[in-house]
């Protein structure tokens, strides 16, 4: 089945006593990241500032899980990605110092990087050999699953790859904000410092937040392993386009999709993201979730979990989009542990992990079979 193939997740999770994303220190106070949210309270809209976890923080931890999952499956992952450092092949110095493994192949790729890093000859080299950009893209994508799925920007080409996955911020739900069920309170701690006087300890404060949060994740499955720069060059006559690959192949794409799903389950199934966990591990429980698999004109994004109706809203939107020819086909799985959440029209599962696995199996059959 052709078209845009996507896997989406929206969930509602209670998280108590968390410091998952701190943004600044003011004196001896470390503050939780906050962001403005517009909510309707009564008959009017109001702007409130609430504790959040950034999409960048969520993406960082997802990529760490992705690197481990891919490595366990025997797929290509760079050493830096396994260590949790994502410098994304920014320039030749970064590559030489941290990603030396990308030179280890028979294509003499190192010479290509050096030529593009030389500003005096770069433009002339690209005029004569535009396929060099394709070779760089292929080498980086081939060498690291994280670069493939999470994107990168090699500035000396330039060669840019947009991330195949998206994360929203983790934010308090609208119904939690409306009922005042969001709180941030600084907690007092003390620590010894060499500058302290005898028998003295330094007091400091660390923000702790509690709320019913929601976030949305989207994976553009059909984009995994695709070589966009190579595809663009293939459309230009006279540029050696006959020999340019357009993907790493369906088999490799399927394996990398499996790694992406394993990383998602590992992350959401254990709330395995965020900072300050060693002495402030949050109390958490996923209350409800919707997981979607879809094939259509555009990636299908499940409705945000700001209200208990989000699963029913997702089902209604998918049905209408299929009737209008926007979606060719879809499946929806749901998980819930809270009252007032309507799961009609969705397949329900005992755990979020089972719901994600079921949708992944549907995509496997619809797209990879």
Over residues 27-75, the pLDDT tens digits come to 888 999 999 999 998 899 999 999 999 999 999 999 999 999 999 999 9
**Residue 215, φ and ψ in degrees, nearest 5:** -155, 160
| Local confidence pLDDT in tens for the 369 residues of the chain | 678 999 999 999 999 999 999 998 888 889 999 999 999 988 999 999 999 999 999 999 999 999 999 999 999 999 999 999 999 999 888 998 999 888 776 667 888 888 887 888 888 888 888 888 999 999 999 999 999 999 999 998 889 999 999 999 999 999 999 999 999 999 998 887 776 666 677 788 999 999 999 999 999 999 999 999 998 888 655 545 457 888 999 999 999 999 999 999 999 999 999 999 998 999 999 999 999 999 999 999 999 999 999 999 999 999 999 999 999 999 999 999 999 999 999 999 999 999 999 999 999 999 998
pLDDT for position 235: 61
Nearest to 273 by CA among 53, 10, 29, 17: 53
Asked whether 177 and 263 are in contact (CB, 8 A), the reply is: no
What H or E segment, with its residue span, contains residue 312?
Answer: helix 310-323
Q: What is the pLDDT of residues 281-329, one digit of tens each?
A: 999 999 999 999 999 999 999 999 999 999 999 999 999 999 999 999 9
Residue showing tokens 């989000």: 310
Comparing C-alpha atoms, which of 87, 82, 61, 21 is closest to residue 264? 61
User: What are the tokens at 303?
Assistant: 């409705």
Q: Across-strand partners of 348? A: 334
Q: Which two tokens stand for residue 69?
A: 């999952």
* Residue located via tokens 């989406």: 8
Residue 360, CA distances (Å) to 93, 357, 368 in order: 39, 5, 11
Token digits of residue 301:
């994004």
* Tokens (6 digits) for 77: 């992952």
Neighbours of 160 (CB within 10 A): 13
* C-alpha–C-alpha distance, residues 91 and 176, integer Å: 45
DSSP string spanning 52-104?
A: -B-HHHHHHHHHHHHHHHHHHTT----HHHHHT---TT-SHHHHHHH-GGGG-
Structure tokens at 136: 């760089």
Report strand pairing: 327-336 vs 347-348: parallel
In angstroms, the CA 210 to CA 282 distance is 9
């Amino acid at each position: 089945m052709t078209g845009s193939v996507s896997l989406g997740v929206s969930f509602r999770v209670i998280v108590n006593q968390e410091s998952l994303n701190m943004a600044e220190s003011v004196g001896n106070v470390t503050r939780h990241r906050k962001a403005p949210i517009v909510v309707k309270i009564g008959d009017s809209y109001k702007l409130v500032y609430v504790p959040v976890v950034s999409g960048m923080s969520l993406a960082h931890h997802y990529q760490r899980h992705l690197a481990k999952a891919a490595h366990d499956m025997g797929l290509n992952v760079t050493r830096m990605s396994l260590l949790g450092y994502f410098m994304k092949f920014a320039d030749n110095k970064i590559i030489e110092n941290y990603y030396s493994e990308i030179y280890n192949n028979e294509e003499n790729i190192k010479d290509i990087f050096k030529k593009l890093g030389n500003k005096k000859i770069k433009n002339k080299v690209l005029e004569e050999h535009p396929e060099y950009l394709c070779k760089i893209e292929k080498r980086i994508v081939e060498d690291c699953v994280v670069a493939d799925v999470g994107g990168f920007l090699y500035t000396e080409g330039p060669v840019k790859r947009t991330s195949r996955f998206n994360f929203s911020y983790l934010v308090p739900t609208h119904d939690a904000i409306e009922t005042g069920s969001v709180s941030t309170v600084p907690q007092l701690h003390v620590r010894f410092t060499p500058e302290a006087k005898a028998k003295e300890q330094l007091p400091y404060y660390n923000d702790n937040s509690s709320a019913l949060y929601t976030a949305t994740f989207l994976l553009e499955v059909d984009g995994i392993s695709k070589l966009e720069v190579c595809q663009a060059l293939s459309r230009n006559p006279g540029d050696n386009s006959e020999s340019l690959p357009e993907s790493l192949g369906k088999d490799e794409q399927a394996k990398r999709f499996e790694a992406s799903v394993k990383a998602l389950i590992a992350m959401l199934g254990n709330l395995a993201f965020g900072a300050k966990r060693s002495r402030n591990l949050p109390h958490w429980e996923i209350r409800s979730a919707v997981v979607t698999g879809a094939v259509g004109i555009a990636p299908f994004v499940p409705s945000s979990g700001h209200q208990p109706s989000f699963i029913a809203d997702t089902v209604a939107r998918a049905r209408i989009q299929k009737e209008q020819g926007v979606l060719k086909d879809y499946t929806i799985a749901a998980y819930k542990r809270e009252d007032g959440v309507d799961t009609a029209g969705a397949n329900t599962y005992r755990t979020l992990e089972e719901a994600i696995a079921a949708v992944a199996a549907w995509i496997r059959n619809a797209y990879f079979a």
